[in-house]
Amino acid sequence: MDQESTTLIETLETQRTRFSHRTSVSHKSDFGQYLTPGAIALFMASMFPNVKGSVVKLLDPGAGIGGLACAFVLNMNQRVQGIHYDIDCYEIDDNTLLKLTKTLQELRSIADVGHAVFHKDFIEEAVDHLLQFNKPKYTHVILNPPYKKIHSSSSHRKLLRLVDIEVVNLYSAFVSMSLELLQNDGYLVAIIPRSFCNGTYYLPFRKHILANAVIRRIHLFESRNSVFKNDSVLQENIIIMLQKSGAIDKVEVSYSKDQSVADVKCKRIDYHDIVDLKSRELIINVPYETNYNYPKVETSFKHLGIMVSTGPVVDFRSREYISSESTDESIPLIYPQNIHKFRVLWPSVKELKASINQNAVTQKLMYETGFYVVVRRFSSKEEKRRIVAGLVHPADFKSEYICFENHLNVFHNQGKGLESDIAYGLVAYLNSEGFDHEFRIFSGHTQVNVSDLKRMKYPSLSRLRELGIRLQKNEFNHQVFEDIIAEVVISEDKQDS
Ligand SMILES: C[S@@+](CC[C@H](N)C(=O)[O-])C[C@H]1O[C@@H](n2cnc3c(N)ncnc32)[C@H](O)[C@@H]1O
């Protein structure tokens, strides 16, 4: 990059840091205002293919101080000469406007730039545009949209419904509306939270983007939550490039360690491995870069012939039947806190020994005492593992029945206990690094739902049994789980192939 461009980028980066320091946390949160670090802005700009025509009509909705539009022009100007850039920026925050205009003006000394700054709500403007049947105007969009929930009664939600867009967050609204304003074959690059890739809330959004565009590229950061860490945003972000109405081809998936976007690694992945367009859920699978030697397990949950359910006791609804003073004969009520070192202890290490009265109402919530495997439904973002599974061993309970609280998922056999070897095998497999890793590939949230567990692949029953047999001769710890999986699943995989 020439000296003038480098100086502009550096100045902008200093301004971004200063601006960000001076802006209060509440203001940032009100405006969903987390400015893109310079290195990421340039990297996003570098994703666009070389411009073919002589005019670029660029949109930067929610432009902040103009870092993304600026990065786009500086990067493209390096690669292709003789382009006229027409830039439209939308921004509602008064505090940014002076800097934004100045950034765009400074670009004029480097490239042939015309610009307009709209101090207007982008959603309102875009909906207006569509309602008037105006044609899409942009050839390129670059955006880091505001991240904020849209409540069902909000004016944004009502406006968006006028143009058949159903979204739960401003970021997806910005991407959807930007796509609407993009010309056929045009490109859009956005940095957005990963949460849209799965889950029912974002299904209408996925439907909208996949019906109108193809995914050309996805970039992932190995160190999650790192992109806006200076703004304390603990949110896993991805960068996605879409092309409006282009033909389906392989998707380029790239990885970098963190926001410095140094040492980018790339691979090309079949489109249908990223998203199955015939599926109902349209989950976007973002494969992580990994050296992990993950075994190829192919058994679907339904073929295992076992079941998994959410713990049926919702404690605030059953309060009158629950007691913390329990005898050995009481019906134990198991909470996530009862899991200790992959085994369910009652009482827990912190002496949690809740129980439930046995009566006509509670009887249907009970499981016969036996072997079960429980998985915690919630973890915090900071926890290393999403999946924490514990073994329920009948020898640890004197009662005829046990109960599971609603913050747990329970693996069982038609409401009864599992075969012991299978239960042990599941404990090893569910707690393995590979399972956790695969789980995260399609789950962007910290919750572990029954439907997620059912969607995963498992080793065959005979391999689970073999895992269980080996685990019974060992202690419960991560190293043992990995070792026996390497012996039973990975080495047998190699023999099979
Ligand atoms: C996540 S920041 C990104 C800023 C800039 N694009 C960047 O990457 O540094 C989102 C910006 O959108 C602005 N914004 C929020 N709601 C908006 C709206 N409805 N219309 C236009 N801009 C909005 C915020 O003030 C904020 O500056």
CA 365 – CA 363 distance, rounded (Å): 5
How far away, in angstroms, is 91 Cα from ligand 1 center? 6
Q: Say if CB 367 and CB 356 are below 8 A apart.
A: no
Together in a domain, 264 and 328: no
Q: How is the beta sheet containing 307-310 ordered, strand by strand?
A: 307-310, 408-412, 372-376, 389-392, 343-344, 339-340
Could you tell me the two tokens for 280? 């109902």
If asked whether residues 62 and 124 sit together in one domain, one would say yes
* Residues 233 and 310 occupy one common structural domain: no
Q: Are residues 304 and 269 in the same domain?
A: no
**Pair 241, 372 in one domain:** no
pLDDT of residue 172: 96
Closest CA to ligand 1's atom 27: 64
Give me ligand 1 centre to Cα 65, in Å: 9
Residue of 122, 181, 231 best suited for mutating to test ligand 1, as the one with most atoms within 8 Å of CB: 122
- Ligand 1, atom 13, residue with closest C-alpha: 62
Residues 252 and 308 in one domain: no
- Asked, for residue 348, whether it belongs to a domain, the answer is yes
Tokens of 108: 């004029």
Strands of 194-298 (E only): list them: 213-221, 237-244, 251-256, 265-269
Same domain, 267 and 343: no
CATH at residue 40: 3.40.50.150
Q: 196 CB less than 6 Å from ligand 1?
A: no
pLDDT of residue 295: 63
- In short, whether 88's Cβ falls inside 6 Å of ligand 1 is no
Any domain includes 287: no
Q: Does residue 127 line the site of ligand 1, with CB under 6 A?
A: no
Please state, in angstroms and rounded to a whole number, the distance separating the CA atoms of residues 231 and 226. Answer: 10
Q: Looking at residue 233, what is its pLDDT?
A: 57
Q: What is the dihedral sign for C-alpha 102, 103, 107, 109? A: positive
Number of domains composing the chain? 2
Whose alpha carbon is nearest atom 23 of ligand 1? 62
| CA-based torsion, 452, 175, 41, 47: positive or negative | positive
CATH number at residue 459: 3.90.220.20
In a domain, 280, yes or no: no
Q: Judge if the beta carbon of residue 235 lies within 6 A of ligand 1.
A: no
Q: What is the full per-residue pLDDT of the chain (497 aa) written as tens digits? A: 788 888 898 999 999 999 999 999 999 989 999 999 999 999 999 999 999 999 999 999 999 999 999 999 999 999 999 999 999 999 999 999 999 999 999 999 999 999 999 999 999 999 999 999 888 889 999 999 999 899 988 999 999 999 999 899 999 999 999 999 999 999 999 999 988 988 888 999 999 999 999 999 999 886 655 566 666 555 678 999 999 988 898 999 998 877 788 878 888 888 988 998 998 889 898 776 654 555 668 899 999 999 999 999 998 998 999 998 777 668 999 999 999 999 999 988 888 889 999 999 999 999 999 999 999 998 766 667 889 999 999 999 999 999 999 999 999 999 999 999 999 999 999 999 889 888 877 676 778 999 989 989 999 999 999 999 999 998 899 888 988 998 887 655 544 44
Per the structure, the complete domain to which residue 265 belongs is given by 3-274
Pocket test for ligand 1, best of 16, 20, 26, 35 (most atoms within 8 A of CB): 35
Q: How far is the CA of 261 from the centre of ligand 1 (A)?
A: 22
Residue among 13, 36, 92 to mutate when testing ligand 1 (max atoms within 8 A of CB):
92
What backbone phi and psi angles, to 5 degrees, belong to 254? -125, 160
Identify the domain boundary among 274, 307, 327: 274
Same domain, 365 and 406: yes
Tell me, using a 6 A CB cutoff, whether residue 36 lines ligand 1: yes
In-domain check, residue 284: no
Residue 150 confidence (pLDDT): 92
Kindly state if the Cβ of 259 falls inside 6 Å of ligand 1: no
Q: Does some domain include residue 288?
A: no
The answer to whether the CB of 434 is under 6 A from ligand 1 is no
For residues 237 and 318, state if they share a domain. no
- Say if residue 249 is in the same domain as residue 303: no
452 lines ligand 1 (CB under 6 A): no
Tell me which residue has its CA closest to atom 11 in ligand 1. Answer: 62
> DSSP string spanning 130-165?
HHTTPPP-EEEEEE-----B--TTSHHHHHHHHTT-
The answer, yes or no, to whether any atom of ligand 1 lies below 6 A from the CB of 240, is no
* Residue of 19, 127, 144, 233 with the most ligand 1 atoms within 8 Å of its CB, for mutation: 144
